[in-house]
Amino acid sequence: MKLLHLYHDIMNLYGDYANISALTRIFGNSSIDCTVDKRSLADEVDLRPYDFIYIGSGTEKNRNVVMADMQKYKEALREKRDSGTPILLTGNAFEMLGQSVTDAAGTAHEGLGLYDFTVTEQNKTRTTSDAILTASFSDKPLVGFINKCSEIEGIHSPLFTVQMGLGNNSHDKYEGLHDHCLFGTHLTGPVLIKNPHFLIYLAQQIAGEKASISVEYLTYENAAYQISLHELQQRKESTTVH
């Protein structure tokens, strides 16, 4: 397997690099050969050979720099998405895929235009929350942490339904973006470490149905997930107004 970690040096908040580490570990334990290429602003990359593409979370300033640089990849990224290549963008990285990002000063920055949604940053306002989310591809909830300053309008195919935490905007209960095998979410933590069932699902998507993904070593990860889910559910129940 060939994995591509784009902008690994400047889109690296919240330990999101560990999403790649989790994938390489699960492939290694499954006796599946795996290499990771790390590329950033100064590089020109041919996306075609890769079996998986990942971009993590960054500051708003770095996201805008990367979004401008990503213009050179937008058609290649569209082709990878349409061909079914798994793609994961965490934190504010997936915000780049829309039509525009309007920053807190009111300046509009051109997005990649792969989707119709728009992003508006809130002036001097950040919202944070622990989260419990559900997804159509999983019979288990996902957990994590969201820290963002954006309102997103116009996503028609969200990744998650919010049980606890923040949605794409302040008035709906849906979070992230899901199209083909492209997954975008504000969940950090990192999301594949905190949710081993999502890690297994994504690894299977990357490796293909015929590959055998080993899950035996995930004992501690599964235990940590159960503790996190239990504690968050307890908190959710204690704050529910009857």
- Rounded to 5 degrees, φ, ψ at 137 are -90, 0
What is the DSSP-derived secondary structure letter of residue 94? G
What is the C-alpha to C-alpha distance for residues 43 and 25, in angstroms, rounded to an integer? 26
Element (H, E) at 68: helix 60-69
Tens of pLDDT, residue by residue, the chain (242 residues): 999 999 999 999 999 999 999 999 999 999 999 999 999 998 999 999 999 999 999 999 999 999 999 999 999 999 999 999 999 999 999 999 999 999 988 999 999 999 999 999 987 778 999 999 999 999 999 999 999 999 999 999 999 999 999 999 999 899 999 999 999 999 998 999 999 999 999 999 999 988 999 998 899 999 999 999 999 999 988 776 54
Q: Could you give the CA distance from residue 74 to residue 87 in angstroms, rounded to a whole number?
A: 13
* CATH code for the part of the protein at 2-239: 3.40.50.880
Q: Could you give the C-alpha distances from 208 to 181, 211, 228, in angstroms and in order?
A: 12, 6, 30
Residue boundaries of the structural domains of the chain: 2-239
Pairing between strand 174-175 and 142-148? Answer: unpaired
